[in-house]
């Protein structure tokens, strides 16, 4: 099994009463000129794309920019939907990845759900 060719990671927070710093506001077009309205408010923070895949580094990059105060994360999680959305792009069959216990623990302690979107060749 070889490594996955590349990965993208975005920390996302969604909620009806969320006022985003970037992205979308409920009831407004998702982007200029679009007819598609956002169903809820959203906030996103993207990590740099990694090639080959390196979710551990991308998770560290994102979390290093944010508070380590778990009380804040508990409050955010109680009010909003929080996930780390990851795009994994394969260049051939039978590619895979492993994540460190450190990364999994950091996400878990903050109540961040891990969402994987895997794209074949």
Overall residue count recorded for the chain in this entry? 121
Whether the full predicted model's pTM is greater than 0.85, yes or no, is no
- Predicted confidence band at 27 (pLDDT cuts at 50, 70, 90)? confident
- Predicted confidence band at 26 (pLDDT cuts at 50, 70, 90)? low
Q: What is the spatial distance between Cα 81 and Cα 109, in angstroms, rounded to a whole number?
A: 15
- Predicted confidence band at 65 (pLDDT cuts at 50, 70, 90)? very high
Neighbour-count burial for 70-105, b at 16+ CB within 10 Å, e otherwise? eeebeebbeebebbbbbbbbbeeeebebeeeeebee
Q: Are 109 and 82 in contact (CB under 8 A)?
A: no
pLDDT the model gives residue 28 = 63
Residue found under tokens 């990965």: 7
Residue-averaged pLDDT of the chain: 88
Using the predicted structure, report yes or no on whether residue 90 has a pLDDT greater than 80.
yes
pLDDT the model gives residue 77 = 96
Using the predicted structure, report yes or no on whether residue 74 has a pLDDT greater than 90.
yes
- Predicted confidence band at 25 (pLDDT cuts at 50, 70, 90)? low
């Amino acid at each position: 099994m070889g490594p996955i060719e590349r990965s993208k990671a975005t920390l996302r927070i969604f909620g009806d009463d969320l006022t985003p710093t970037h992205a979308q506001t409920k009831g407004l077009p998702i982007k200029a000129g679009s007819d598609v309205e956002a169903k809820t408010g959203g906030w996103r923070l993207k990590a740099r794309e990694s090639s080959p895949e390196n979710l551990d580094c991308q998770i560290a990059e994102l979390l290093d920019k944010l508070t380590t105060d778990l009380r804040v994360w508990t409050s955010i999680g109680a009010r909003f939907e929080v996930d780390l959305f990851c795009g994994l792009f394969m260049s051939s069959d039978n590619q895979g990845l492993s994540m460190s216990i450190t990364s999994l623990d950091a996400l878990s302690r903050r109540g961040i759900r891990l969402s994987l979107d895997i794209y074949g060749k």
